[in-house]
Amino acid sequence: MAAVDIVSQAQRVGVVILAFNVPYLPMVKPVVEAVADQNVVAMIATARLEWIKFESRSLEAVAEEFNRWKKPGYVWLHLDHVPVIDEDNLAVDYMPLFKKAITLGYQSVMVDGSRLQFTENIEATQRVVELAHIAGIPCEAELGAVLGHESGPLPSYEELFATGRGFTDPQEAHQFVETTGCDWLSVAVGNIHGAISGAFKDQKKVEARLNIERVEQLARATGVPLVLHGGSGIKREFISSAITQGVAKINIGTEIRQAYEAALRQTGSVEAAQQAVYERTTWLLRDYYGLRGMKKVIDEFTRN
């Protein structure tokens, strides 16, 4: 089943697809193993930030590592967050990255034009959607500002949530999806990347909450599966409500990155760090999100 179909099926069944970001290449193996062991469908994802500022190295390196450990039917490879304007407010030559990813066999992609003006975001997204659809793969886009990757500090989370700064507007979202033809939409409804900003990447992440009313409005306005970036640390009751209202994909980064980094610091052993990632991924799939056996549910729904 194609990636676009799996995410749509997940939304219909009322479950969620997790996308695990891998800023360090040795994380790929334990994530894949945990996903298969829990009989779940998930994405292995890499974002431009992760090979620029961490150690996933390149699109090619992640694809090679994925192909070493992949388990067809359980995982697929997703190009996450290629920004048009990056977290340092620099323009990115983004189209060649998407062309390269498609050539390498990435099975879904995401363009992030959220730092552009609305009409410019539409234009950039349209270009990538067209390229992806010609290749037969889905394209995710972002509208609103999921903050946290910025290089400097931001206001407190409470201030961000209270003011609704960067939250996705339902009317704009309707126009955006209708005009661009994107398959999935990443929305801002209280979720944040990392630990508020790049300046605090090693700190414990804020326990975020979500504006569920806004999620419901966005789902009705767009008619496509919604995506939450910055999924680590969101309170469980908000996650459950968001899935019920139309969120079908959630990105996980901080939870497994910090597990890897902490174990590596403490032991100096890559194998120990991989084990920490396996255990944390298993906990997320089985205990936090309650997804164990989810693949069987989607497979049965598809057959019927």
Q: What single letter denotes the amino acid at residue 105?
A: G
Q: From CA 146, how far away is CA 96, in angstroms rounded?
A: 24
Specify whether the CB–CB gap between 18 and 231 falls below 8 A.
Answer: yes
Helix 270-283, helix 28-37: angle, nearest 10: 40
Dmax (CA) of the chain: 51
What size, in residues, is the chain? 304
Phi then psi dihedrals of residue 138, to 5 deg: -80, 155
DSSP string, 5-69: HHHHHHHHHT--EEEEE-SBGGGHHHHHHHHHHTT--EEEEEEHHHHHTSB---HHHHHHHHHHH
Structure tokens at 159: 């201030």
Beta bridge partners of 79: 46, 109
Q: Rounded to the nearest 10 degrees, what angle do helices 270-283 and 254-267 cross at?
A: 150
Following DSSP, what letter does each residue of 240-270 receive, concatenated?
HHHHHHTEEEEEE-HHHHHHHHHHHHHH--H
Among the listed residues 161, 187, 158, 95, the one whose alpha carbon sits nearest the alpha carbon of residue 132? 95
Per DSSP, what are the bridge partners of residue 55?
24
Residue that has been written with the tokens 């968001």 in this structure = 242
The residue annotated as part of the active site, out of 5, 80, 93, 169, is 80
Active site residue 80: yes
Residues that are catalytic? 80
